[in-house]
C-alpha cells in the first residue's frame, strides 16, 4: 500500500493555539526500538560479526542509511548499504508479525486526538513498507497523513520530515506539538521549529527551550499539549 501526502487542509484545533500533533513511530507509539536492534544483531551474526551493545545508542532513532552505514563501518562487514537495508527491513517485517505492542498511553492519546479532531500525522524515519505494516496496529484512521523516511530528500535529524508534515496539514510548524523518543528525532523537530515532547526510550534526553521531557505517554494528553502552546505566548 502506498500513501502519499494529501492536499493541504486548513482545519486547525479550534479554541487553541495548537494546530496539529506530529508523532514519531518506533519507540514513541509502538514498542519496536528493541526489535530493530535484535534484527541488526541477528543479521550481522549471519555475516559473522558481533555487535557491541554500546552501539545501540548510536543507531537508535536514526535513518536506515545512517544506522546501517555506521554498523558496516564499525564491523567491516562485506556488504553494501543497499543489500543491508533489504535484509534489515525484511528481518523487521518478519519479527513484527501481524500486531505490535503499543507504548503505554498510545492508544488513549490517539483516541483523544481523533475525538477532538486534532490534525495528526505520523512522521517516521522508517521506510514506507514498514510504516504501512505498523499502521495495521496503530490504526490508519488516526492519521491525516504519514511521512516515511524514504519519501523525503533528507530524513531525521534534518527538519524535512516535520516541515513536510506541517505543509501537508496546512499548519504552522511553530504551532505543532511533536512527540519523539530519541535525540535524533528531537533534533529534527526542533530544527523545524516545533514544540517538542520527548519521551526517552533508549537513551536519556535533557529538557531544553521548547522541549519538555516526560517519562511516558501516559503523562501526555490534549490539555497537556495545548498547555505547551499557551506557554509560548
What span, in angstroms and rounded, lies between the C-alpha atoms of 201 and 218? 14
The torsion angles phi and psi of 153, rounded to 5 degrees, stand at -60, -40
Type and span of the H or E element at 212: strand 211-213
Locate 162 and state its grid cell.
516535520
User: Starting from the edge strand earliest in sequence, which strands make up the sheet with 20-23, in order?
Assistant: 145-147, 120-123, 20-23, 176-180, 195-198, 211-213
Active-site residue list: 24, 26
- What proportions of the chain, in percent to the nearest 5, are helix, strand and coil? 45, 10, 40
Three-state SS at 62: coil
How far is Cα 51 from Cα 58, in angstroms, rounded to an integer? 12
And the C-alpha cell for 154?
533528507
And the C-alpha cell for 200? 526517552
Amino acid at each position: 500500500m502506498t500513501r502519499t501526502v494529501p492536499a493541504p487542509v486548513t482545519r486547525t484545533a479550534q479554541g487553541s493555539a495548537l494546530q496539529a500533533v506530529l508523532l514519531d513511530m518506533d519507540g514513541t507509539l509502538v514498542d519496536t526500538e528493541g526489535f530493530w536492534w535484535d534484527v541488526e544483531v541477528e543479521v550481522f551474526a549471519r555475516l559473522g560479526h558481533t555487535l557491541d551493545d554500546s552501539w545501540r545508542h548510536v543507531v537508535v532513532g536514526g535513518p536506515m542509511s545512517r544506522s546501517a552505514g555506521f554498523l558496516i563501518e564499525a564491523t567491516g562487514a562485506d556488504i553494501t548499504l543497499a543489500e543491508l537495508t533489504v535484509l534489515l527491513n525484511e528481518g523487521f517485517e518478519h519479527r513484527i508479525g501481524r500486531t505490535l505492542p503499543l507504548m503505554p498511553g498510545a492508544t488513549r492519546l490517539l483516541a483523544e486526538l481523533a475525538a477532538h479532531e486534532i490534525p495528526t500525522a505520523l512522521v517516521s524515519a522508517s521506510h514506507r513498507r514498514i510504516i504501512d505494516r505498523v499502521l495495521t496496529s496503530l490504526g490508519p484512521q488516526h492519521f491525516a497523513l504519514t511521512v516515511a523516511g524514504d519519501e523525503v530528500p533528507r530524513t531525521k535529524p534534518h527538519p524535512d520530515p516535520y516541515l513536510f508534515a506541517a505543509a501537508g496539514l496546512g499548519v504552522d510548524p511553530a504551532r505543532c506539538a511533536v512527540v519523539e523518543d530519541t535525540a535524533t528525532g528531537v533534533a529534527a523537530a526542533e530544527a523545524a521549529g516545533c514544540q517538542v515532547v520527548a519521551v526517552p526510550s533508549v537513551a536519556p534526553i535533557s529538557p531544553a527551550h521548547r522541549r519538555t521531557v516526560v517519562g511516558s505517554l501516559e503523562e501526555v494528553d490534549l490539555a497537556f499539549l495545548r498547555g505547551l502552546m499557551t506557554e509560548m505566548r
